[in-house]
Amino acid sequence: MSFKEAEIIKKRAYSFLRNAERLIEEGEYDLGMFNLEQYCQLILKYKLLIKMGSYPRTYSLRRLIRELGKFNESILVLINDVKKSTLYSEA
């Protein structure tokens, strides 16, 4: 793992989050949600990079959450409890 790579991923993640907030405020909900999904992917990959030194090359939030769940099982509620999540359909 490169500390520089991790920091770049983290910086990009928060850029997507800020952009999502702005787009949602402007009523661009579909683009806002797309940016929010990008934030989620990158912040999960950042956390995995810090914990494992790498992360799976995937766009699946469910897979990334499962991988992170190996270190903290409480995060698995996001994919195991369908009532608390809309991530239940695998695309």
Question: Is residue 89 a part of any domain in this protein?
Answer: no
Question: Is residue 59 a part of any domain in this protein?
Answer: yes
Residue 30 has pLDDT above 50, yes or no: yes
Measure the CA–CA gap between 89 and 57, rounded to whole angstroms. Answer: 20
pLDDT of residue 1: 62
Count of domains forming the chain: 1
- What is the residue range of 31's domain? 3-84
Question: Is residue 8 a part of any domain in this protein?
Answer: yes
User: pLDDT, tens digit, for every residue of 40-68?
Assistant: 999 999 999 999 999 999 999 999 999 99
Question: Is residue 30 a part of any domain in this protein?
Answer: yes
In this structure, are residues 34 and 22 in contact, taking their beta carbons and an 8 Å threshold?
A: no
pLDDT of residue 82: 64
Instruction: Give the percent of the chain with pLDDT over 70.
Output: 88
Question: Is residue 91 a part of any domain in this protein?
Answer: no
pTM over 0.85: no
Residue 91 has pLDDT above 90, yes or no: no
> Mean per-residue pLDDT for 66-72?
92
Question: Is residue 90 a part of any domain in this protein?
Answer: no
Residue 17 has pLDDT above 80, yes or no: yes
Locate 10 and state its tokens.
Answer: 């983290």
Question: Is residue 42 a part of any domain in this protein?
Answer: yes
- Provide the sign of the torsion angle of the four alpha carbons 48, 50, 51, 53, taken in this order: positive
